Amino acid sequence: MSRYIFVTGGVVSSLGKGVSAASLGALLQSRGYSVHVRKFDPYLNVDPGTMSPLQHGEVYVTNDGFETDLDLGYYERFLGVHLSRNDSCSGGRIYWEVLNAERRGDYLGATVQMIPHVSNKIKEHISIPTNTDFVICEIGGTVGDIEQKIFLESIRQYANDVGRRNVMFVHLALAPYLEQSGELKTKPTQMSVRRLLENGIQADMLFVRSPRMLTNEERAKIGMFCNLPAKNVITSINVDNIYKIPLVYDEQDVFNIMAQHFGLPEAAGDMSKFKKIEHYLNNDLPTCTIGVVGKYFDVADAYKSLNEALFHAAVQNNVHLKIKKIDAEKFTPEECSDVDGILIPGGFGARGVEGKISAVKYARENNVPFMGICLGMQTAVIEFMRNVVGDENANSTEFAKNCTPVINIMNDCDSENMGGTLRLGAYPCVIKSGTLAEQIYGTTNISERHRHRYEVDIKYKDELEKNGMIISGMSPDGKLPEIVEIPSHKFFIAGQFHPEFQSNPYDGHPMFNAFVSAAKRK
């Protein structure tokens, strides 16, 4: 039987519950335990797929094609596990399933209520088998939110269902520091834990987000008011890199607290992979500047996986990384004069597309290492068709109706319905021998995750290739271009997929590793 750890948060949002949950999993893995992680978000959207990156951050995509919250990216990167549609569950999805069950008559005419029907549905999702020693469930939102209450009630019930010693409640709260008085205030933490207790949940361990380490006196005070031992009050200190957090927790004996709760033997863990990253961060290394030409920079998490993948590649190449944010809507070539590489990420809609096309042109003409992702590949093809092949009318039907449609809907989607079917999740790609793509991946068969609606039209393949842009990766049926490159260029490659979703800090990702390596050489 799996044991369960529920991670909740209070006082304010964005305290880092996802990273904390992933770090707990890392500590368990370091002692030889298998771990699975799930995210429960109380908001009423059925999934994050239609949510704006300017409000919610990026949409993360699993191998099985489910659009999820970005925290699943933390889980996969930290823990090296592949998650699925079973591991991201919103309030909207729960209510949708309950109401559909009612319409089918599954409840045999009973009055449908929050308890037991909604709470039981949440517990069904919690208990989907994982065949792991531990399941860590992060509960999104902040204690006190109206929409979160039913999730707190469900995990309270679940602890009774499976036995209190098989469940641990970990709460993350804030202790703000008031500079004017020079004091760390613990009252918000106390009130947050008390609010959690009003929902019938006693925290077993408390992570206190703080700009400095808590003193023994502060831990004792918090423990007394929050009804738990002082040693179970852990400082979740601000750090300059999230991969230091497992080390911070390990130094405070977090695993031993979990071991004591669950009746496990105390044990030292192998934290070498996190110490390697810490060593890299502390080293004096040359800096590589990557210009990211995007349009969602108003929210830091809009390019979360992309930024992480670039960092992972920098670790592998032993260089420090500077990401220069270049607004595609205001792009000028001068902005790229000081970068070592240019990357164009994915996106939807026409806003900023012409700036991205201009950035491709700059990279191609000035032999600057270039990498394109999804829309970045599409803009690379459009730019090449316009400025090398000579078709000034080349465009995507996403942006123009009367054009040479080098980018078009090729998967039977309705172009007028932006809520239509996307190509989502992992798809195979066959790589052409002797290409840069084969050199990067070291194989001719790969699988990468997708999230897009428009494709490069295969009928323009011959025209592109006779002018110097080759299609080096294709879908197995030969219909959909997956990778393009320019062999005469120093480093120019773009993929229709999102390789950032399969990067991790310990190995990086082949395409990002090669791109940063080329930028380092420049």
DSSP 353-400: HHHHHHHHHHHHHTT--EEEETHHHHHHHHHHIIIII--TTEEETTT-
Q: How many Cβ atoms sit within 10 Å of the Cβ of residue 215? A: 11
Region 159-174 average pLDDT: 97
Active site residue 137: no
Region 460-473 average pLDDT: 97
Q: Is the pLDDT score of 218 beyond 70?
A: yes
Given this model, what pLDDT does residue 298 score?
83
Active site residue 56: no
Q: CA-CA distance, 383 to 354, in Å (whole number)?
A: 9
Q: Look over the chain and give the mean of its residue pLDDT values, rounded to a whole number.
A: 94
Catalytic residue among 36, 56, 498, 509: 498
Q: CATH: 3.40.50.1820, 3.40.50.1100, 3.20.20.10, 3.40.50.880. Which one for 284-521? A: 3.40.50.880
For 3-263, give the CATH class: alpha beta
Given this model, what pLDDT does residue 411 score?
56
Given this model, what pLDDT does residue 95 score?
97
Q: CA-CA distance, 22 to 138, in Å (whole number)?
A: 10
Given this model, what pLDDT does residue 317 score?
97
Q: How many Cβ atoms sit within 10 Å of the Cβ of residue 298? A: 10
CB contact set of 77 (below 8 Å; sequence gap of 6+) = 22, 308, 312, 503, 504, 505
Given this model, what pLDDT does residue 509 score?
98
Q: What letter does residue 110 receive in the DSSP assignment? A: P
What token pair was written down for 197? 């207790």
| Bridge partner residues of 426 (DSSP) | 449
Given this model, what pLDDT does residue 418 score?
37
| Contact indicator for 70, 58 with CB cutoff of 8 Å | yes
What token pair was written down for 151? 């999730």
pTM, to two decimals? 0.93
Q: How many Cβ atoms sit within 10 Å of the Cβ of residue 510? A: 20
| Contact indicator for 290, 311 with CB cutoff of 8 Å | no
Given this model, what pLDDT does residue 414 score?
39
Given this model, what pLDDT does residue 417 score?
36
Q: Is the pLDDT score of 169 beyond 70?
A: yes
Coil, strand or helix at 178: strand
Helices 353-365 and 375-384: crossing angle in degrees, nearest 10, is: 60
Q: What letter does residue 209 receive in the DSSP assignment? A: E
> What share of the chain has pLDDT > 90, as a percent?
89
Region 469-475 average pLDDT: 98
Given this model, what pLDDT does residue 52 score?
80
Residue-wise pLDDT tens digits, 189-204? 999 999 999 999 999 9
Catalytic residue among 335, 374, 448, 450: 374
Given this model, what pLDDT does residue 440 score?
98
Q: CA-CA distance, 71 to 20, in Å (whole number)?
A: 10
| Bridge partner residues of 68 (DSSP) | 60
- What is the band of 422 on the pLDDT scale with cuts at 50, 70, 90? confident
Given this model, what pLDDT does residue 385 score?
98
Q: CA-CA distance, 353 to 324, in Å (whole number)?
A: 18
> What share of the chain has pLDDT > 70, as a percent?
98
Active site residue 500: yes
Residues of the chain with CATH 3.40.50.880: 284-521
Given this model, what pLDDT does residue 419 score?
38
Region 481-509 average pLDDT: 97
Coil, strand or helix at 21: helix
Residue-wise pLDDT tens digits, 21-73? 999 999 999 999 999 999 999 999 998 888 887 777 899 999 999 999 899 99
Residues of the chain with CATH 3.40.50.300: 3-263
Q: Is the pLDDT score of 15 beyond 70?
A: yes
- What is the band of 413 on the pLDDT scale with cuts at 50, 70, 90? very low
Q: CA-CA distance, 306 to 79, in Å (whole number)?
A: 18
| Contact indicator for 410, 455 with CB cutoff of 8 Å | yes
